[in-house]
Amino acid sequence: MDKSILERINEFTWRIPTSYKKGMRVPGVIYTSEALLDGVLKDKALEQVANVAFLPGIVKASLAMPDIHWGYGFAIGGVAATDIDSGGVISPGGVGFDINCGVRLLRSDLTFKDVNKKLEILVNRIFSDVPTGVGSTGKIALSTKDSKDILTKGAKWAVEKGFGTEVDLEFTESNGAMEGASIESVSKRAFERGKFQAGTLGSGNHFIEVQVVEEIFDEKIADSLGLSKDQVTVMIHSGSRGFGYQICDEYSRKMIQCLSKYNIDVPDKQLACAPLESAEGKSYFSAMKCAANYAWANRQCLMHLVRGCFEEVFDTSWKSLGMNLIYDVAHNIAKIEKHIVDNKEKKLCVHRKGATRSFGPGQSDVSIKYRSIGQPVIVPGDMGTSSYVCVGTETAMKNTFGSSCHGAGRIKSRTQALKSVNLNVLLKELQSKGIIVKAKGGKTIIEEAPSAYKNIDQVIDVVNASGIAKKIARMRPIGVIKG
Catalytic residues: 406
Cα 352 to Cα 337: distance, rounded to the nearest angstrom = 12
Cβ–Cβ under 8 Å, residues 439 and 483: yes
How far the first Cα of the chain sits from its last, in Å, is 34
* Helix-helix angle 144-153:279-314, to 10 degrees: 100
Q: Which phi and psi angles does 333 have, rounded to 5°?
A: -165, 160
Closest residue by Cα to residue 188 from 275, 247, 139, 274: 247
Query: Cβ contacts of residue 72 below 8 Å, gap of 6+?
Result: 93, 96, 97, 252, 270
Paired with 7 in beta bridges are 15
CA distance 29 to 426: 36
Contact 197, 298 (CB under 8 A): yes
b (16+ CB within 10 A) / e for 136-147: bebebebeeebb
Do the bridges between strand 436-438 and strand 470-482 make them parallel or antiparallel, or are there none, so unpaired? parallel
Q: DSSP assignment, residue 474? A: E
